[in-house]
Amino acid sequence: MDIWQDLEAHRAAKAGRSIADLFAEDAERAARFSARFGDMLFDFSKTTIDDAAMSLLMELVRDAKLEERREAMFTGQKINETEDRAVLHTALRAPGGPILVDGEDVMPGVLETRRRMAEFARAVRDGTITGAGGAYTDVVNIGIGGSDLGPAMATLALAPYHDGPRVHYVSNVDGAHIHDTLKGLDPARTLVVVASKTFTTIETMTNAETARAWMAGAVERPGEQFAALSSAVDKTEAFGIDASRVFGFEDWVGGRYSLWGPIGLGIMLAVGPEDFADLLSGGAAMDAHFREADLADNLPVLLALVGIWHNQVCGHATRAVLPYDQRLLRLPAYLQQLEMESNGKRVTMDGADIERNSGPIVWGEPGTNGQHAFYQLIHQGTRVVPCEFMVAARGHEPELAHHHRLLIANCLAQAEALMRGRSLDEAMELMAKKGLSGPEQERQARHRVFPGNRPSTMLLYPQLTPHVLGQIIALYEHRVFVEGVILGINSFDQWGVELGKELALKLAPLLDGEDASGKDGSTRMLIETVRAMG
């Protein structure tokens, strides 16, 4: 039998044992099935993983040669084999080098771009660089995918540190998005940042042209109100953006891993270069931990192994990410891209079909809102949804400390309730106290039974600072990497987004009246109906 079969056999053999039983059998379970990095605690004891399962999961890691693959990534080897590229988002947050790609140290370029970004951000923030109408009051970042989700998430997360211009994010090609964002802004005091590595992404460039037309209606030289996050300097120049306002990055930075560099300019403009540097230092600290810590104490490795256990071994198709932190509102959406675009593959590195499920469906919402929405299904639905909770020990509003205590209490209570559940006997007793008896007592009690034995993890950190946010993002980046290595897939390409984009380009002229007879009946009917409604 191979390791996967051993894992599945072990899970089947222990299927009748509950998480609560594991705690009853081992008074030290919480300490043994948790790990710390600095002040951060990752607790995975409320899962069905036991010593034997963990031993087998570690065998998976070693069999996949994770440590070799990890070193290859950090040292600039071209582990993105389908695109023949290195994977070096870690270099964007590294304090120094050398880090070589094709024999050339990339760190001087990284550090110089970081310096230019900081210089530009300071000048915008202190009014040295102004718009046509004076100091910038607003920044509109136009991007999509990795050029939007990461920086938009991080900017919101770091709201207590905002002391610069208001930063807005536009991504959707739906005209409502840019219309509603620009409405009420002063063009003469708005900086537009266009984020596209190639400066050809159709959604981004459509929005950028709309923003330029809006700007041209009020500003004599609209190009001077723009900056670009792009490596296509010829195209940014043609757009009218001065080279001093263009910040490029290399092809070894994937979009969903790019907020650490120029794509993070919006974050830097909002919080300042110093707090942005703290974000980078948090990511770099997690990099060092991932690279150096023993596998058994390594947070990214452990988080990945919990994910592998739940998805590939136990067969739970989804995972819910549940931050009890309102400012992490966009974290689940960011992780959807990070995890599902990275590991949503169906073939291994050598092109063979994957023999088991690849990445899970990732979803979530901040607590406590989710408790009044979808937690009903998590607690009493017929499918098990592993939950990943996270919460800070303290908030940023000391005058509202009682709010935060209630928030933490809810977070811990949900994890406990998922594990413990409520038996029929307990529910019968509750109904008896309400004066019910006989068949009606049992009928009502059955509605109040919670199966329990539903797994969850908890990530506890002191406070959501820039440094801690950097640690959290890097933790999940490396988790994705570890899961991909174990599954034998390339986590750093995204060919699955190509086909729909190609077909959209061909469909657009059909909506304008070109012959659609070559399309299938459904698509043809929809095109004809759109034409009629338009």
> Residues 8, 224, 339, 341: which is the catalytic one?
341
CA–CA dist 72, 420 (Å, integer): 43
**What SS3 state is found at 318?**
strand
Contacts of 500 (CB under 8 A, 6+ apart): none
CA–CA dist 408, 463 (Å, integer): 12
How many CB atoms are closer than 10 A to CB 312?
Answer: 23
Measured CA to CA in angstroms, residue 50 lies from 26, 31, 58, 172 at distances of 10, 13, 12, 45
Is the CB of residue 22 less than 8 Å from the CB of residue 29? yes
Measured CA to CA in angstroms, residue 156 lies from 67, 91, 166, 284 at distances of 34, 24, 11, 21
Tokens of 194: 């266009």
Q: What are phi and psi of 505, to 5 degrees?
A: -60, -35
Measured CA to CA in angstroms, residue 482 lies from 231, 336, 477 at distances of 29, 17, 9
> Residues 65, 179, 403, 501: which is the catalytic one?
501
CA–CA dist 266, 6 (Å, integer): 48
List beta partners, residue 139: 167, 191
> Residues 220, 292, 372, 433: which is the catalytic one?
372
How many CB atoms are closer than 10 A to CB 249?
Answer: 20
Rg value, the chain, Cα: 25
Is the CB of residue 363 less than 8 Å from the CB of residue 318? yes
CA–CA dist 396, 220 (Å, integer): 43
CA–CA dist 85, 251 (Å, integer): 7
Annotation says 341 is catalytic: yes
CA–CA dist 124, 471 (Å, integer): 28
Give the start-end residues of each E strand in 413-485.
Answer: 456-461
CA–CA dist 516, 521 (Å, integer): 10
Is the CB of residue 88 less than 8 Å from the CB of residue 76? yes
Evaluate the omega torsion of the peptide bond into residue 98 and state whether it is cis, within 30 degrees of 0: yes
3-state SS track over 41-105: EEECCCCCCCHHHHHHHHHHHHHCCHHHHHHHHHCCCCCECCCCECCCHHHHCCCCCCCEECCEE
- Residue 398: exposed, middle, or buried by beta-carbon count in 10 A (0-12, 13-18, 19+)? exposed
Annotation says 372 is catalytic: yes
Which active-site residues does the annotation give? 341, 372, 501
